[in-house]
Amino acid sequence: MNACLQTITDYGLRAIGIGKRLLPREDFTLCEQFTLIGSGMIWNVYFGVLALIAGFGFATLLALGKTSNNKVIRKQSEWFIFLFRGSPLFIQFFFGYFLFLKLKTVFPIFAPFTAAWLGALVVLFFNTSAYTAEIFYGALRSIPKGDIESADAYGLSGWSRFKRVIWPTMLRLAWPAYTNEAIFLFHATTLVFFSGFPAWQQRGDALYYASYFADKTFNPFIPYPILAGYFILLTLCVIGLFSTVNRRLNRHLPSNTRQRLRIRPNLIR
C-alpha cells in the first residue's frame, strides 16, 4: 500500500510535468500502470472540455449561418461544415500540425500552435464545431412553426425571439444528439499524440502511456483494459452531466413526453 501511494505521488501528475521525469523501465506494477494512464487522462479531459465549451458557441453561429438568407454567409458556413465533417479527424491533425509549422517559419507568433496543448485543441475545436453545427442546424429546421408563430403573436422579434423561443427549443431538440457528439469527442482525443503533434518529454495522454506499457511488456491485455475502464468512467460522467441538463431543458414537458437520451457512439470520425 505504501509503495502504491508513493507511486501515485511520483507519477500522478506526471503527464503535466509534475513528479518524476523518467518513466519506469522494468518490473511494471499494476499501480504504476493505473497511475500513469490515469495521469494521461488529464490531457484527454483538457482537450475534450475546452473543445466542447468553445465549439458550442461557434457551432451555434455556424448553424445560424447555414440558415441565413445571406448567400455569402450561408455558403461559407456550409463549406466549413462540409470540410471538417467530410475529412477524417486523423488527417486534420496532420494537416493542422504541418500548417502551423509552416506558419511558424513566417510568423513566430504561431510557435505555440505547433504544441499539442494548443494546436491539437484548435483542430478539435473546428472539428466538433462542424459536427455540432450540423446537429443544431437540424434542430433549427425541426422547430415547430407554431412556436415561432406564438412568439410573433406575443410581439417577440429579433434577438428576444431567438433568446426566449428559438434557442431553447433548438437545444431541447438537439441535446440527445449533442450528447453523443460530446462522448465521441472525448474518445477522439486519443488521436492527438498519435497524429502529427509530438508528446514533449513523454507527457502524453492516456493512450500514449497505455501504448508505452504494451510495448515494454509485450502484453496489451493489461494497459488497454485499464484505458478502456477510465474512458467508461469518463463516459458515465458525461452521460450523467448531460442527462441532468436534458432534464432541465425538458422540465416544462409532461414526464411521458420528455425526450430521453439515447447513446449512439460513432464507430469512426
| Domains of the chain as residue ranges with CATH | 31-257 (1.10.3720.10)
In the chain, the percentage of residues whose pLDDT exceeds 70 is 94
Q: How far apart are CA 50 and CA 164, in angstroms?
A: 26
Q: How far apart are CA 116 and CA 129, in angstroms?
A: 19
| pLDDT above 70 for 16 | yes
Chain segment 175-202, per-residue pLDDT in tens: 999 999 999 999 999 999 887 788 888 8
| pLDDT above 60 for 256 | no
Q: What is the pLDDT of residue 251?
A: 82
For residues 48-57, give the mean pLDDT: 97
Consecutive H or E run containing 252: none
- 85: its cell numbers: 465533417
Q: How far apart are CA 194 and CA 191, in angstroms?
A: 5
Q: What is the pLDDT of residue 252?
A: 72
Distance in angstroms between the alpha carbons of the first and the last residue of the chain: 41
Q: How far apart are CA 50 and CA 217, in angstroms?
A: 34
Q: 263 pLDDT band (50/70/90 cuts)?
A: low
Query: Mean pLDDT, the chain, as a whole number?
Result: 91
Q: Picking from 53-57, 84-88, 91-95, 264-268, which range would have the lowest pLDDT averaged per residue?
A: 264-268
Q: 55 pLDDT band (50/70/90 cuts)?
A: very high
Q: What is the pTM of this model?
A: 0.92
Chain segment 113-165, per-residue pLDDT in tens: 999 999 999 999 999 999 999 999 999 999 988 888 888 787 777 888 888 88
Q: Picking from 16-25, 59-68, 124-133, which range would have the lowest pLDDT averaged per residue?
A: 16-25
HEC states along 115-133? CHHHHHHHHHHHHHHHHHH
HEC states along 27-84? CCCHHHHHHHHHHHHHHHHHHHHHHHHHHHHHHHHHHHHHCCCCHHHHHHHHHHHHHH
| Helix locations, the chain, DSSP H | 2-11, 30-66, 71-86, 89-106, 121-142, 145-153, 158-161, 167-188, 206-217, 223-249
| pLDDT above 70 for 260 | no
